[in-house]
């Protein structure tokens, strides 16, 4: 006799019913969970080990560092747990799917930033999400919105540079690309905004050191990019390792709850960085026990605890001893569960589709976007007219230097082969990367010979290759010297005491200069480096940073004139390490305007970048010479030859002026110019910066073409943070500065008065 079927309304729990609201489903599920299951949900577990039994014994809510078929195994194990709560699977997809063999590895953030191209950054995020999501990953720990200050800091190359406004706009674009059409988009991944906040303000460039930042300074410079990320819809934030005013960021309730969640209205989840809770006991020593650390971390506002296995027992003990209420576990657990419901993970846990993954990482359009990103990231720092190379006069080229044919250094940090994964994990397939040497050999004009010598090492003083390099230089018409840095000297925990070229590179450049042959310097480096005099005297300098898999092709195109470089620096390059910090937006007021023994002006300033053509700026004007608080306007859609600044949706805003300037291409090459708008508040109630970037636009110009570029500045572009920590627009005179870089000599000026 067959059993009588049960009523589905009795057998199916409410939290499994997708027709109910998220709040109803969360409430039902929380009511069914044990304390142990709730604590497990708060844990982000390192899954690199082949032993995944912790998924059943601890029932974590999320895992990271897990790839391929192993993800399916983890999802299956989670499904076997009581209640079957799905896993949230994270990975460090930093500039591409970092640790997936064959994935598209883009230029690093600092390189991408040089494009000043919001649409491009959104495309990069979209490509990355499509490749990442196909492998069963739901969550990337990117972008980095740290503000670069001391260039010795090893993670400088992970940033977008030194300017809060530009960081915020580029970060918002990458977030939109990652998160796609919304939380339930199966081709999207959650973006993680990090490191919140002030992590980059180091002492002596040392990673994770105490950050001496007041709350006013945080609000002035470090917090605005993160607030912009909230408005862009970022669903996860990550804390930093550092402490501020005696409080590690992980237990700074003012920062995590008062500002992020209450003031800005952030409704996503907040995750600690790697073992931040454990560090409260082990390193920073502000907590005696892991239970103490669990209590203060939860009360500060953290929702997910990354890779602190002891948190499980610590939180249990805290509740059982009465020092922590179970409701204080319920609140972050509810936030995470709500996120999982909104992502649709209970209905579709988003397993890896390895067949789809193989297609995604091999897509020609992904490679094409990567090449375009590399092209737009190149910055022509210096050129005496040698570039582009004349194929009629250049019949032999020596490509020399330790980074000329080193695919690993070209990809940079956060890629297979970098320190974040063990050596046995291997590296990206060599054939996926076009090195500088590969690119030159592929594009060299017929009849031009290319020779190659390494010349020296970066990681030691070995100069055994120097004689061969000098001999080859004697027979070459042009020397292309590819120098920079090495993974040994960059990245997390890898700060440097100096910024000089390491190993035998200075000796190599000095010796090559003495041959008298024209020398082009190509920089493949994670961050700005101090250049020796022989490099400064070179015929040309091209900055590539870590230009990704297509970087060599793009650099070769620039050398041979197939590409007119358009990138602009988003970070200042110093003359000497002693100039640190050398960022452009310095607070006004000091005795003198230089060091007694050295200039304070950088070698190459923020916003600098040359072209093979010339651009002339003229006729700067404002829509009105005065501005009254509270004026409301709709940002217009501009057409024809007018190029609007790239921004978000068209909405009513507190309007500032419309800035207009004419830009003419007076040279013989077509090109893209990046127009920059800076604001100076002439007299302020509290000390403030000399100038601050507030708008920008990319404009394409044919030879002889002139266009009017118009950029709307919102009311907020005129704000300062006063001595009380309030964001205010003060009446008085403002200068609107428009031009090709942050240097005063490159800027036109107009005056605006705020009534």
DSSP structural state of residue 636? P
Average pLDDT on 446-458 reads: 97
DSSP structural state of residue 459? S
Asked if 339 and 389 sit in the same domain, the reply is no
d(CA 625, CA 641): 24
Tell me how many domains the chain contains: 3
Asked if 453 and 575 sit in the same domain, the reply is yes
User: For residues 636 and 336, which has the higher predicted lDDT (pLDDT)?
Assistant: 336
- pLDDT exceeds cutoff 80 at 636: no
> 630 pLDDT band (50/70/90 cuts)?
low
Question: pLDDT (tens digit, 9 = 90+) per residue, 296-327?
Answer: 999 999 999 999 999 999 999 999 999 999 99
Asked if 440 and 567 sit in the same domain, the reply is yes
Tell me if 281 is assigned to some domain: yes
Asked if 176 and 237 sit in the same domain, the reply is yes
d(CA 62, CA 85): 10
How far CA 47 is from CA of 57, 270, 417, 518, 701, in Å, comes to: 14, 20, 19, 52, 51
Tell me if 24 is assigned to some domain: no
Candidates 551, 526, 543; CA nearest to 105 is 551
Tell me if 362 is assigned to some domain: no
Q: What is the CATH number of the domain that holds 742?
A: 2.60.40.10
Asked if 421 and 303 sit in the same domain, the reply is no
Tell me if 393 is assigned to some domain: yes
Q: What percent of the chain has pLDDT over 90?
A: 91
Q: What percent of the chain has pLDDT over 70?
A: 95
How far CA 199 is from CA of 175, 216, 660, 698, in Å, comes to: 20, 16, 37, 31
Tell me if 271 is assigned to some domain: yes
- pLDDT exceeds cutoff 70 at 745: yes
Query: SS3 for 46?
Result: strand
Tell me if 367 is assigned to some domain: no
> 402 pLDDT band (50/70/90 cuts)?
very high
Asked if 308 and 414 sit in the same domain, the reply is no
Tokens 């007119």 belong to 564
Identify the domain boundary among 303, 321, 356.
356
Asked if 147 and 256 sit in the same domain, the reply is yes
pTM: 0.94
Q: What burial letters (b/e) apply to 21-32, b meaning 16+ CB within 10 Å? A: eeeebbeebbee
Show the tokens assigned to 7: 């009523």
Tell me if 90 is assigned to some domain: yes
Candidates 480, 381, 471; CA nearest to 438 is 480
How far CA 30 is from CA of 39, 60, 332, 741, in Å, comes to: 12, 15, 11, 55
Average pLDDT on 101-119 reads: 98
- pLDDT exceeds cutoff 50 at 635: no
Average pLDDT on 485-506 reads: 95
Residue 344 has a CB neighbour count (10 Å cut-off) of 16
Asked if 645 and 714 sit in the same domain, the reply is yes
> 397 pLDDT band (50/70/90 cuts)?
very high
When mean pLDDT is compared across 90-94, 204-208, 637-641, 679-683, the lowest value belongs to 637-641
Q: DSSP E strands: which ranges in 526-643?
A: 540-543, 615-622, 626-627, 632-634
> 139 pLDDT band (50/70/90 cuts)?
very high
Asked if 253 and 105 sit in the same domain, the reply is yes
**φ, ψ dihedrals at 750, nearest 5°:** -130, 155
d(CA 28, CA 279): 35
How far CA 152 is from CA of 382, 506, 529, 577, in Å, comes to: 23, 19, 9, 8
Residue 519 has a CB neighbour count (10 Å cut-off) of 24
Tell me if 278 is assigned to some domain: yes
Residue 129: per-residue pLDDT? 98
Asked if 254 and 305 sit in the same domain, the reply is yes
- pLDDT exceeds cutoff 80 at 558: yes
Residue 647: per-residue pLDDT? 33
Residue 109's contacts (CB-CB under 8 Å, 6 or more residues apart) are 94, 95, 143, 144, 157, 158, 159, 160
Question: What's the burial of 170, exposed, middle or buried (CB within 10 Å: 0-12/13-18/19+)?
Answer: buried
Helices (DSSP H) in 344-387: which residue ranges?
354-360, 364-377
> 4 pLDDT band (50/70/90 cuts)?
very low
Residue 651's contacts (CB-CB under 8 Å, 6 or more residues apart) are 634, 635
Q: DSSP E strands: which ranges in 125-271?
A: 139-140, 192-196, 236-239, 243-244, 247-248, 269-271
Our CA angle for 242, 246, 250, nearest 5°, is 45
Residue 351 has a CB neighbour count (10 Å cut-off) of 15
| Structural domain containing residue 689 | 615-754
Identify the domain boundary among 579, 595, 627.
579
When mean pLDDT is compared across 208-222, 518-532, 668-682, the lowest value belongs to 208-222
d(CA 280, CA 288): 8
> 649 pLDDT band (50/70/90 cuts)?
very low
Residues 528 and 488: beta-carbon distance below 8 Å: no
Q: What is the CATH number of the domain that holds 429?
A: 3.40.50.1700
Residue 488's contacts (CB-CB under 8 Å, 6 or more residues apart) are 458, 459, 494
Residue 10: per-residue pLDDT? 58
Asked if 111 and 177 sit in the same domain, the reply is yes
Residue 211: per-residue pLDDT? 87
Residues 510 and 532: beta-carbon distance below 8 Å: yes
DSSP structural state of residue 287? -
- pLDDT exceeds cutoff 70 at 633: no
Residue 632: per-residue pLDDT? 42
What totals of helices (H) and strands (E) does the chain contain, helices first? 23, 27
Question: pLDDT (tens digit, 9 = 90+) per residue, 530-548?
Answer: 999 999 999 999 999 999 9
Asked if 475 and 388 sit in the same domain, the reply is yes
Indicate the average pLDDT of the chain: 94
């Amino acid at each position: 006799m067959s059993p009588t079927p049960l009523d589905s309304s009795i057998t199916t729990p409410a939290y499994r019913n997708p027709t109910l609201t998220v709040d109803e489903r969360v409430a039902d599920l929380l009511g069914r969970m044990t304390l142990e299951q709730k604590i497990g949900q708060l844990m982000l577990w390192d899954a690199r080990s082949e032993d995944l039994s912790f998924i059943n014994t601890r029932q974590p809510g999320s895992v990271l560092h897990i790839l391929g078929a192993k993800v399916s195994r983890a999802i299956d194990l989670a499904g076997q747990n009581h209640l079957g709560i799905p896993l949230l699977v994270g990975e460090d997809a930093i500039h591409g799917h970092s640790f997936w063999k064959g994935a598209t590895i883009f230029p690093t953030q600092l390189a991408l930033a040089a494009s000043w191209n919001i649409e491009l950054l959104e495309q990069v995020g979209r490509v990355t999400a499509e490749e990442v999501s196909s492998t069963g990953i739901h969550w990337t720990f990117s972008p980095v919105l740290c503000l670069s200050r001391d260039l010795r800091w090893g993670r400088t190359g992970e940033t977008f540079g030194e300017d809060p406004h530009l960081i915020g706009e580029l970060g918002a674009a990458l977030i939109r690309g990652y998160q796609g059409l919304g939380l339930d988009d199966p081709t999207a991944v959650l973006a993680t905004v990090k490191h919140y906040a002030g992590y980059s303000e180091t002492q002596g460039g040392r990673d994770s050191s105490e950050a001496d930042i007041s709350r006013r300074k945080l609000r002035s410079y470090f917090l605005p990019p993160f607030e912009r990320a909230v408005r862009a819809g970022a669903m996860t934030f990550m804390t930093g390792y550092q402490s501020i005013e005696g409080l590690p960021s992980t237990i700074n309730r003012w920062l995590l709850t008062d500002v992020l969640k209450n003031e800005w209205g952030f409704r996503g989840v907040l995750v600690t960085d790697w073992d931040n809770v454990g560090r409260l006991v082990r390193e920073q020593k502000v907590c005696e026990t892991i239970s103490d650390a669990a209590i203060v971390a939860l009360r500060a506002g953290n929702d997910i605890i990354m890779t602190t296995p002891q948190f499980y027992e610590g939180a249990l003990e805290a509740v059982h001893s009465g020092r922590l209420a179970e409701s204080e576990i319920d609140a972050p657990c509810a936030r995470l569960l709500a996120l999982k419901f909104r992502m649709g993970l209970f209905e579709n846990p988003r397993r890896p589709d390895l067949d789809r993954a193989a297609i995604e990482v091999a897509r020609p359009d992904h490679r094409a976007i990567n090449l375009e990103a590399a092209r737009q990231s190149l910055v022509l720092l210096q050129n005496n007219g040698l570039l582009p190379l004349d194929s009629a006069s250049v019949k032999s080229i020596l490509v020399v230097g330790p980074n000329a044919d080193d695919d690993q250094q070209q990809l940079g940090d956060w890629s297979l082969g970098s320190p974040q994964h063990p050596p046995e994990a291997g590296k990206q397939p060599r054939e996926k990367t076009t090195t500088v040497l590969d690119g030159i050999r592929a594009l060299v004009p017929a009849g031009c010979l290319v020779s190659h010598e390494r010349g020296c090492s970066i990681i030691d003083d070995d100069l055994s290759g120097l004689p061969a390099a000098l001999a080859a230089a004697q027979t070459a018409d042009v020397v292309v010297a590819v120098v920079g840095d090495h993974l040994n000297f960059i990245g997390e925990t890898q700060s440097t005491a100096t910024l000089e070229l390491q190993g035998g590179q200075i000796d190599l450049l000095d010796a090559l200069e003495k041959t008298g042959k024209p020398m082009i310097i190509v920089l493949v480096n994670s961050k700005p480096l101090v250049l020796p005099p022989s490099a400064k005297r070179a015929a040309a300098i091209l900055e590539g940073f870590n230009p990704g898999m297509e970087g060599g092709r793009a650099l070769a195109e620039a050398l041979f004139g197939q590409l007119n470089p358009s990138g602009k620096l988003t970070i200042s390059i110093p003359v000497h390490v002693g100039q640190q910090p050398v960022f452009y937006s310095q607070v006004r007021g000091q005795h003198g305007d230089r060091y007694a023994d050295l200039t304070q002006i950088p070698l190459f300033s923020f916003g600098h970048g040359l072209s093979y053509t010339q651009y002339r700026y003229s006729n700067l004007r404002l829509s009105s010479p005065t501005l009254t608080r509270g004026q409301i306007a709709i940002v217009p859609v501009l057409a024809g030859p007018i190029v609007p600044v790239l921004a978000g949706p068209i909405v009513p805003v507190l309007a500032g002026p419309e800035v207009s300037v004419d830009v003419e291409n007076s040279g013989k090459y077509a090109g893209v110019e990046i127009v920059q708008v800076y604001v100076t508040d002439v007299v302020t109630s509290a000390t403030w910066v000399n100038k601050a970037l507030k708008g920008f636009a990319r404009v394409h110009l044919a030879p002889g073409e002139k266009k009017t570029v118009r950029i709307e500045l919102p009311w907020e572009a005129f704000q300062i943070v006063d001595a009380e920590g309030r964001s205010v627009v003060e009446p008085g005179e403002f200068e609107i500065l428009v031009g090709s870089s942050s240097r005063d000599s490159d800027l036109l000026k107009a005056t605006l008065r705020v009534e």
